[in-house]
A and B are shown apart, each in its own frame.
Chain A
Amino acid sequence: EAQVTQNPRYLITVTGKKLTVTCSQNMNHEYMSWYRQDPGLGLRQIYYSMNVEVTDKGDVPEGYKVSRKEKRNFPLILESPSPNQTSLYFCASRRTGNTEAFFGQGTRLTVV
């Protein structure tokens, strides 16, 4: 089954404790990206990757890092989480030039 898998689905952590949210897709898609969803703001892109070893900032990259060492995986790293990073995070992937993006189920992160 074609899918984008994020882990964990839920995470509560403390300020400053490094964490990684994993994202994996099994569709051989070139393009992957991370979004955060906040009430009244919709989804905003954090980082994106157009292919292996090619990453770039989206609209709200501060406080986040990503890596793309393999085509299928695109982890989101928070080196020193802060409460303003409490949000619902989505990973998405799609074939370059294709119309449809596939989204993971989301990761609800709370930073206390």
Chain B
Amino acid sequence: GEDVEQSLFLSVREGDSSVINCTYTDSSSTYLYWYKQEPGAGLQLLTYIFSNMDMKQDQRLTVLLNKKDKHLSLRIADTQTGDSAIYFCAETSFSGNTGKLIFGQGTTLQVKP
């Protein structure tokens, strides 16, 4: 079945770049997403990429998609303490249960001053 995997924890120093990785199994994935969850808050959509794209950049965020290896990454440049949160990778295929998001386990990003 569909599956999305992420590492659970990443620690970086303020000012460094963070790279959060994700792998997925569904070859019919249409969109891949990165969500951010701050403590006590809901999910905030950071960015998404369509499956026919290799890269998307949005200010400090860069998303890379390797469709052959089913690997997605999120790079945060110049990481700040305010970036500390849980980051979820998710995918959807818009087939069958259209709109269902399959989430990874979430990566907790810790930013040390």
A residues contacting B by CB (< 8 A) are 31, 33, 35, 40-45, 48, 50, 56, 58, 90, 92, 94, 96-97, 99-101, 103-106
Contact = CB atoms under 8 A, between A and B. Distances in A.
Given A42-B4, A42-B88, A103 B42 contact: yes
Size class of the B contact interface (CB-based, 8 Å): 20 to 34
A interface: dominant SS: strand
Interface stretch (B12-20, B58-66, B69-77, B92-100): B92-100
Interface of B: 4, 6, 8, 31, 41-43, 45, 48, 88, 90, 94, 97-101, 103-106
B98 A96 contact: yes
A90 B35 CA distance: 13
Contacts of A100: 45, 48
